[in-house]
Every structure is written in C-alpha cells, then in structure tokens.
Amino acid sequence: MKKEKKPKVAWGIAGAGEKMVETLEMMKKIKKEYEDVVDIDVYISRSGDQVIKYYGISNEIETNFNNIWVEINANSPFLAGQIQLGKYEFMLIAPCSANTVAKIALRMGDTLLANSAIMGQRADIPLYIMPSDYEVGVTITKLPDGKDLKLTLREEDVENINKLAAMDNTNVLKEPEDIKELFARYFK
C-alpha cells in the first residue's frame, strides 16, 4: 500500500532581524506539534542567510528542519514553479523585511521570495506575511548581543504593508503567535 504524502508549507525567511529568534522558536514548536501532519520546507533569501548567521541561528535551523534551500537567484531554487503547481498549501514569509514587503507590493520579483510570492498570488496560493515593520512609530528590537536597538518606522513602510493586506489571498500577520493560529486553522 502506497503511503500518502503529507501536505507541505513553504516557509520563507527574508533579511529581517526583528522577531527572527521568536519566529524560529515558534516554527520549531509548530514543526514538533505537526510533524506527522505537514512538512515545512525552508527557503532563505540571500539577505536572510546573512541575518540568521549574524544572529547565530543558522545551525539551529539546519538541526530542526530537513529541507532547507538558500537563494541563488530569483528562480533558483525553483520555488515559484513549485508554488504555482500547488505543491504547497500556502507560503509563509516570516519575518519579512521591509525590502521584501515593498518588492511584493510593487510587483518586483527580482529575488527568490518576492518572485515566489508574486507567482503564488497569481496562482491563487495563499500567502501569509509577517512584516518586521508593522506600524508607524518607534519600536525597540533586540540585537544578537542582547542590546536594544531603537527603530523609527515610517509611513512609507506601513503603506506597503497596507497594499499587501488589500491583495486577494494575501494575509498579514503581526506576531509569531499568529503563525501558530495559522497552522491550527489549516491542519487541526
């Protein structure tokens, strides 16, 4: 008897440090809770690769997830094609940098995650994005050494998030905890 394939989710990691560690912790919990139900494939942008190394968590990602790819260019690995062919239930980009948010909002598919998200939107594959820059104002984030970094988020950053939120089959998440609810909705 042939074993049934589990559904798959594409998790994209862009070059945002904000909530990177918290997102990884949440994804590890989700993987453990849903390991018999869904496979999580990890796609890391070139900038994301730099950030996870800066935060010292690249080995932790490799230890906890089986299928991991790092961007070579906008079409390699060929995530966009796999998403369009329905190989994934949905695409999650978390955390998502302001740069990747802007690229998707402005339809600039010149990076792996932006291209794959745009192509997935065209094929009506659900897209979930947890942007690092969520609302106008001052936010304090933690650096890898534990120090605080004060960031002032501008209206222009939030404008792109609002564009994404208005797009069909595109959902904006605020916190890593929202990812847990997302998986519960799909796989419980």
Separation of alpha carbons 110 and 107, rounded Å: 9
List, as one string, the DSSP characters of the chain: -PPPPPPEEEEEE-S--TTHHHHHHHHHHHHHHHTTT-EEEEEE-HHHHHHHHHTT-HHHHHHH-S-EEE-SBTTBS-HHHHHHTT-SS-EEEEEE-HHHHHHHHTT---SHHHHHHHHHHHTT--EEEEES--SSEEEEEE-TTS-EEEEEE-HHHHHHHHHHHTSTTEEE--SHHHHHHHHHHHH-
CA–CA gap between residue 105 and residue 92 (Å, rounded): 15
According to the model, what pLDDT value does residue 153 have?
83
Domain spans in the chain, listed from the N-terminal domain onward: 8-187
The pLDDT profile of the chain, 188 residues, written as one tens digit per residue, is 556 789 999 999 999 998 999 999 999 999 999 999 999 999 999 999 999 999 999 999 999 999 999 999 999 999 999 999 999 999 999 999 999 999 999 999 999 999 999 999 999 999 999 998 888 888 888 888 888 888 888 888 899 999 999 999 999 999 999 999 999 999 98
For residue 35, give every residue at least 6 positions away whose Cβ sits within 8 Å of its Cβ, in sequence order, or none.
Answer: none
Q: Which CATH class is domain 8-187?
A: alpha beta
Whole-prediction pTM value? 0.93
**pLDDT at residue 152, rounded to an integer:** 86
What CA dihedral angle connects 181, 154, 12 and 113, to 10 degrees? Answer: 140
β-strand pairing of 127-131 with 91-96: parallel
- What pairs with residue 139 in β-bridges? 151
Contact between residue 182 and residue 173 where contact means Cβ atoms under 8 Å apart: yes
Task: List the one residue out of 12, 10, 9, 173 whose CA is nearest residue 100.
Answer: 12
Write down the pLDDT at residue 110.
97
- HSE on the CB side for 15, CA within 13 Å? 15
